[in-house]
Amino acid sequence: MKKKNIILISHGSTQKSWKKTFIKILKLIKDRNSNNKISIYFIESNIKNIINKINAKNINIIVPIFLGFGYHIKYDIKNIINYLKKKYNNLKIILNNNIIFNKKIIFSIAINIINLF
């Protein structure tokens, strides 16, 4: 089976604590996907730098992970994806994965909040 080169793209922040959650997600995915190369980029990085890294590293799958459907998904990521689809034929982009719309995720968040009190 051909090894896949996958990147996750997430909203970034200058706060290191923000990135910790996504680094944990990345580690969990890597632990269960040892056959593939998986990395993460944060959108606060320069978009052109991300695109250059995708090109340089022969990335073939992109999975944006955002907790909601806001400006970054509607405009930034959509523009990046449209550009990349035109430029790279072999690139698979999985966009319809906003985790906040996943019923199991919503339920888990709600249960965790309920368990606080």
**Residue 30: which pLDDT band, with cuts at 50, 70 and 90?**
confident
pLDDT tens digits, residue range 34-61? 888 888 888 765 666 766 776 667 777 7
Domain ranges of the chain: 5-114
Mean pLDDT of 85-114: 75
pLDDT tens digits, residue range 65-97? 766 667 767 777 777 778 877 877 777 777 665
The CATH class given to the 5-114 domain equals alpha beta
Q: What is the 3-state secondary structure (H, E, C) of the chain?
A: CCCCEEEEEECCCCCHHHHHHHHHHHHHHHHHCCCCEEEEEECCCCHHHHHHHHHHCCCCEEEEECCCCCHHHHHHHHHHHHHHHHHCCCCEECCCCCHHHCHHHHHHHHHHHHCCC
Predicted TM-score (pTM) of this structure:
0.62
